[in-house]
Amino acid sequence: MNHEVHRDASARGNIAPASTLTQNIRVGVAALFANPLRTVLSTLGVIIGVASLVAVLSVGDGMEQTMRAQLETTTSIQFFNLVPVTTEEVDGQQFPLDSYPQFSVADARAASTIEGIASISADISGRAEATDSAGRVRRMVSVTATTEGWSALSPVSLGAGALLAADDIDALAPPRAVITRALAQRFATAYALADANDMVGHAIRLQGTHFEVRGVTSDSSPEERAWISLNAADLALPVSARPRVVLMVGKLARVEDADSVKARVSRWANERFGAGTTSIRSNEGRLAQATQGILLFKLFMGAITGISLLVGGIGIMNVLLASVTERTREIGIRKAMGARRRDVLWQFLAESVAVASLGSGLGVLLGLTGAYAITSLMRARLTGMFIYASVSWSTIAVAVVSALFVGLVFGTYPARRAARLNPIDAIRHE
Specify the pLDDT at position 74.
Answer: 65
Provide the 8-state DSSP code for 382. S
Specify the pLDDT at position 290.
Answer: 66
The answer to whether 11 and 333 have CB atoms below 8 angstroms apart is: yes
The answer to whether 183 and 130 have CB atoms below 8 angstroms apart is: yes
Enumerate the H helices of 173-327 as residue ranges.
181-190, 233-236, 258-273, 284-326
The answer to whether 46 and 316 have CB atoms below 8 angstroms apart is: yes
How is the chain split into domains, by residue range? 3-70+290-427, 79-282
Q: CA angle 19-39-369, nearest 5°?
A: 125
Highest mean pLDDT among 310-324, 346-360, 389-403: 389-403
The H or E element spanning position 225 is strand 225-229
Highest mean pLDDT among 152-161, 346-355, 383-392: 152-161
89 vs 5: which has the higher pLDDT:
89
Specify the pLDDT at position 12.
Answer: 40
pLDDT tens, position by position, 108-145: 999 999 999 989 999 999 999 999 877 778 889 999 99
pLDDT tens, position by position, 271-305: 999 888 999 988 766 656 766 776 687 678 777 77
Specify the pLDDT at position 285.
Answer: 67
Specify the pLDDT at position 259.
Answer: 84
What average pLDDT does the chain have?
A: 79
Q: Is the per-residue pLDDT at 249 higher than 50? A: yes
38 vs 168: which has the higher pLDDT:
168
Does pTM surpass 0.85?
A: no
Q: What's the rounded mean pLDDT across residues 307-326?
A: 71
Considering only 124-133, 356-365, 407-416, which range has the smallest mean pLDDT? 407-416
Considering only 99-108, 175-184, 234-243, which range has the smallest mean pLDDT? 234-243
pLDDT tens, position by position, 197-240: 999 989 899 998 999 999 999 888 888 999 999 999 988 988 87
Q: What's the rounded mean pLDDT across residues 246-270?
A: 89
Specify the pLDDT at position 70.
Answer: 73
Q: Mind giving me the DSSP string for 146-192?
A: E-TTHHHHS---EEEE----HHHHH--SS-EEEE-HHHHHHHHHHTT
Specify the pLDDT at position 191.
Answer: 85
How far CA 57 is from CA of 66, 297, 310, 363, 388, in Å, comes to 14, 11, 17, 13, 12
Specify the pLDDT at position 14.
Answer: 41
Q: What's the rounded mean pLDDT across residues 81-97?
A: 85
Q: With bands split at pLDDT 50, 70 and 90, how would you rate the model's confidence at 2? A: very low
Q: Is the per-residue pLDDT at 151 higher than 60? A: yes
Decide: helix, strand or coil at residue 205.
strand
Q: With bands split at pLDDT 50, 70 and 90, how would you rate the model's confidence at 88? A: confident
27 vs 109: which has the higher pLDDT:
109
Q: How far apart are CA 273 and CA 267, in angstroms?
A: 10
Q: With bands split at pLDDT 50, 70 and 90, how would you rate the model's confidence at 344? A: confident
Q: How far apart are CA 254 and CA 78, in angstroms?
A: 7
Specify the pLDDT at position 30.
Answer: 67
Q: What's the rounded mean pLDDT across residues 350-356?
A: 75
Specify the pLDDT at position 78.
Answer: 82
